[in-house]
Structure 1
Amino acid sequence: MKADPAAQKRLLDLAAVDAELTRLAHRRRTLPEHAELDAAETAVRTSKDALVEAETAAGDLDRDIRRIERDVEGVVARTEKDRALLAGSGIGAKQATELQHELDTLARRQAVLEDEQLEIMEQREALGGNLDHARRLLGEAEEKLSDVTVRRDTELADVAAAEAGRGRDREAILPALPADLLGAYEARRSQGKTGAGLLRERRCGACRLELDRTYLARLKGTAPDEVVECEECGAILVRTAESGL
């Protein structure tokens, strides 16, 4: 394949643009903010789970407290009723004994309920501190997530802007390249290889390897418009005054 040396040299501009696009794509994939964001999202989920667990436990204790309060109210109401009956006139000795026995039983029941109520209220008070701590941790985790998201989005926007600029540069270069030369270049890039490189001081600019002297001697006798390849990596080897041939 033949191509004007100027067109071949222009291929180096395209290769430089494509190299920059490759670097930008790598930067997009490997932004440290991606890992930070994953960690921040995990922290938010963990904090939410911890808060839900604490809120559930608090709700259970609150229900227990209300239940005991109702039980105590029932015991107090029954006690007041029995005391009124005992203080009234017209009850026999047997009924009075039964009422007093019930009053003693109610008193013991009330004491047990109040002890249980106190214990649960102490647990609830302690859990209040856990709730405040869980809410604070969640707030901090959400704030960090927001910060990392903003930084990640800013970095991605910078990458996108740079990619757009390089994309315009690429489109400006393409019309200057013959179709067959561009096709050969793109075929190499489709295989994940560098499409073209400058031959400078016996070294290929694509793979950075120094070429064999015999091969270089053969290149020296090759017409300038002949498209040649690196014997090491297969990239189109662009020869200029810097090549030292």
Structure 2
Amino acid sequence: MTVVEICVEDALGVRRARDGGADRVEVCRDLSCGGLTPAFDEVAAALEVAPAGGVQVLVRPRPGDFAHSREEVDRIASDIAQLALVGRGAAVPLGFVVGVLEPGGRINVDASARLRDEAGDAPLTFHRGFDQVEDLDRGLDVLMELGYDRVLTTGGDPAVARPEALARLVAQGGDDIIILVSGGLRAHNVADVVAASRAREVHMRAPGACGTDQEEVERIVAALH
């Protein structure tokens, strides 16, 4: 059965995603720029109403590229440590979504290793910055070597899921890392992308007039199940 992760911006969106049947949520703010680190009190509120699969928190200090400075990596690490305290004792898992690249389009191994260490046993996902990596196959090997749990990816496209590329990554990752498939997914196309890529998990928004649309979440879940 395919795991459905819905990207939301607030606790109300978390509740709507949960009630629509989502397995897990990612919480961030300012989706207009691809998402930034949410307020810590928003994460605390999200944990109280989250689905059983838990909450993934995007930890991204600024919009723009993913070639973060040493000071920005320090901030990401500090935010992970503080968010871990927010999640202590929560009824559902709390994980983190991060990503640091070199200016030339490779994964910043030192920074990525540091963030893996900072996250401890918490689930850790490398975000869509992965789609800017020049060699996705090598990039995936690096993330597996570092012990990342997931990578959020379209298969290398800026916006749209590429099923053939995703299928290759899914096969390469095997049981060592989960390919969290994204890229323009909605209820009308998610089942086809999952069938073609053999993905075990998918990530998408469920936008409506007032934020997350519970009925769209229900349609997504129904399409997959």
TM-score (norm 1): 0.24
Higher relative CO (CA 8 A, sep ≥ 6), structure 1 or 2? Answer: 1
Which protein is richer in strand relative to its size? 2
Greater Rg over alpha carbons, structure: 1
